[in-house]
Structure 1
Amino acid sequence: MTKEDTSEGAVIFEEPVKKTENYFSELAAVDVSNMIDKKNGYSYLSWAYAQDQLKRKHPTAQIITKRFPDPELGGVLVPYMRTSLGYFVEVEVIIDGVSVSEPFPVLDYRNKPIAKPTTFDINNSIQRAKVKSIAGHGLGLYIYAGEDLPIDESKIENQSQQGYQQQYQQVPQQQPMQHQPMIISPQQQQQLKDIAVQIANLTLGTGATQEAVVEQMKQIYERHKLTANMAQELADVKITEMNQELKAILDSRMNPQHQQVPQQNQPIPLFSEPGAPLQNVI
């Protein structure tokens, strides 16, 4: 940073202001739960809310929509990129000199690639890429926690077949096979994840990194034996158990005589379900 001395024409060099505050922790601590919209089982943070919160905290933040040359238009720069795999957009967000760039495929409302997108489709994907780039700086990042965790479909199928064989051996041949319980709904998955996020944040306390929150959530999933194909009845039981755990943590915070939440006994699962992590939202 420089400043010119108009009296003598000299240039005075000043030391840059050192920032002591962690901007990522500041943005990650913003509660956006009341700004989340849900559609088709997925949770979304509106780009308008994300940009509003970002600019309130960091007015000088830069949001840049990348442009690419289109060969069919003679190299004219357009806000999308056409590839053999489909169409992509990219948005870069810069805060205090730190850049996060998020490429994003052009998808429909079912999160499937669009072969021939309209300008409206491209604009929607740009806004979603913008929200993800902002989340890369901490704001609303917990919404995407675990979305990149794969599910081993072959393992689930093999375990399911073993379960069916065991069940068939136990049921007499003259009796028809029992109906399988209904699988956990997207609404139950989201409710369980929301409770897990609150428990993780309260357990770790302020200043915890997003990686620590995600790791804590994985431990919560394992402790409560949450699976992607658990029965709806069992999911309701887990929701009740986790709400009780959350209430115990909050009660301990309100009671100064207790510094730690007493460890609860592990619940006995009602159903034997194949193990698989919950599918998190996009």
Structure 2
Amino acid sequence: MKTEKGTSSEGFDSPSFEEVWTVLSKVDVTAQKKQLPDSNITYLSWTWAWDELMKHYPYATYSFDEDQWDHLGYCTVSCTIRIGHLERSMWLPVMGGYSHKAVKNPDARGRSDTRMRCLVKAMAMFGLGHYIYNGEDFPRKEDDEEIEQQEQDKKLPPFGDGKRQIENEADAKKASEQFANEFRNAASSEQIKSLYTANPNTFQALERGYPSHFAVMMQEAQAKIAALNAAK
């Protein structure tokens, strides 16, 4: 049996994995890091982490699966976080004290504490504080060249038939992101279909030349259509 916490995503536009990662991976958690006594193990308070997630995605929810026990008495907990139609899961064995080693036959308190630690690790799968698990002290910053390129892209026309054409993989990635964003903001299934009928050559170029980018883009379209149908 799963236990679920959080609020409904009804009334909110579901973001993409890329959008969530871009937002949460840039949050500087340095001041919030804690360290276990006599250990180099770094962690974040689950209350702070959840509060930070709620600031950006107040409709996020989480759930825990039933604890899994092996024949030796070790226990593993698992947690899934949902942000709109997006899901990320993480699992963690129940560990004792500050040893960072799994313990046999853990009590209820040990399992409860581990669930909340697992919740924080699941948030890291979306980007929040992920770098502390790599031993990094600060989140990675965009360099000046990338920022300059983004500013230049804003001055160019959008991709589409009779507009900007796809010339390389960098263009394909930008085009797929552009259309994926339009799909997410579409008010109806007809509007999504009209994007395809208005840009058949561009979509064909993506599908034939850059199928991975095309697939990601179409996943967004399918997810939006499903959400629109469910809302009827």
Q: 1:92 aligns with which of 73, 80, 84?
A: 80
Which amino acid in 1 is paired with 2:123?
Answer: I
Aligned length: 131
Which amino acid in 2 is paired with 1:36?
Answer: K
Find the counterpart in structure 2 of residue 74 from structure 1.
Answer: none
3-state DSSP of counterpart to 2:102: coil
Q: 1:104 aligns with which of 92, 98, 101?
A: 92
Moved over 3 A (4+): 16-21, 202-207
Find the counterpart in structure 1 of residue 50 from structure 2.
Answer: 51
- Structure with greater proportional helix content: 2
Over the matched positions of the two proteins, sequence identity in percent amounts to 26
Find the counterpart in structure 2 of residue 129 from structure 1.
Answer: 118
Which amino acid in 1 is paired with 2:88?
Answer: V
Note closer, same or farther for the CA distance 1:27–1:106 as it changes in structure 2 (3 Å cut).
Answer: same
Q: Which has the larger radius of gyration?
A: 1
Q: 1:32 aligns with which of 21, 29, 34?
A: 29
Find the counterpart in structure 1 of residue 105 from structure 2.
Answer: 116
Note closer, same or farther for the CA distance 1:205–1:27 as it changes in structure 2 (3 Å cut).
Answer: farther
User: d(CA) in 2 for partners of 1:91 and 1:205?
Assistant: 38
Which amino acid in 2 is paired with 1:65?
Answer: F
Tell me the CA shift for residue 144 of structure 1: 1.0
User: d(CA) in 1 for partners of 2:82 and 2:14?
Assistant: 18
TM-score normalised per structure 1: 0.42
Find the counterpart in structure 2 of residue 234 from structure 1.
Answer: none
- Does 2:69 match 1:82? yes
Q: 1:141 aligns with which of 130, 141, 156?
A: 130
Tell me the CA shift for residue 205 of structure 1: 7.9
Tell me the CA shift for residue 84 of structure 1: 3.0
Note closer, same or farther for the CA distance 1:112–1:203 as it changes in structure 2 (3 Å cut).
Answer: same
- Does 2:200 match 1:201? no
Note closer, same or farther for the CA distance 1:205–1:30 as it changes in structure 2 (3 Å cut).
Answer: farther
3-state DSSP of counterpart to 1:22: helix
Which amino acid in 1 is paired with 2:28?
Answer: D
TM-score normalised per structure 2: 0.51
Tell me the CA shift for residue 127 of structure 1: 0.6
Tell me the CA shift for residue 81 of structure 1: 1.5
Gaps of 5+ in 2: 1-11, 148-232
Note closer, same or farther for the CA distance 1:205–1:18 as it changes in structure 2 (3 Å cut).
Answer: farther
Note closer, same or farther for the CA distance 1:36–1:205 as it changes in structure 2 (3 Å cut).
Answer: farther
Contact 2:77 2:118 in 1 (8 A): yes
RMSD across aligned positions (CA): 2.6
